[in-house]
Amino acid sequence: MTRNDSAYESGERVFGPPVGTFDVEWVARDVERRTGTTLRDAQRGVAAAWLAARRSASLEHAVMTDAATAEGLPPETAQTLVAQIVAYCTAYDVDPAAR
């Protein structure tokens, strides 16, 4: 049996977060699964990158990657984290400029 990354796994929510809202935990758990980093580190990196996105009012990759790297994440993990933030914002219609 092969693992399907989009399949429901025990402990995951059945329903997604509300459209238009950003959920640090949701993205951090995805980053944890994809990169093998600890959940705590993923949460710190996502929170820092999201704060940078809010401050710049955009999903600029460089700004978010710098913020995640400043939290001590390796560059590859920070890049994956940023890609997941962008994917999440696209899927759930989240605008960092919205207050």
Residue 2 within any structural domain of the chain:
no
Evaluate if residue 69 carries a pLDDT over 50.
yes
At residue 8, the pLDDT reads 42
- Sequence-ordered list of residues with C-beta below 8 angstroms from that of 56, at least 6 positions apart, any chain: 63, 96
Domain that holds residue 40: 24-91
Which pTM was predicted? 0.82
Average pLDDT score over residue span 64-78: 96
Please check whether residue 26 is in contact with residue 64, taking contact to mean a CB–CB distance below 8 angstroms: no
Q: Judge whether 68 lies within some domain.
A: yes
Helix (H) or strand (E) run with residue 96 in it: none
Residue-wise pLDDT for 30-65, tens only, equals 999 999 999 999 999 999 999 999 999 999 999 999
* Residue 6 resides in a domain: no
Distance CA 90, CA 58 (A): 12
* Total domain count, the chain: 1
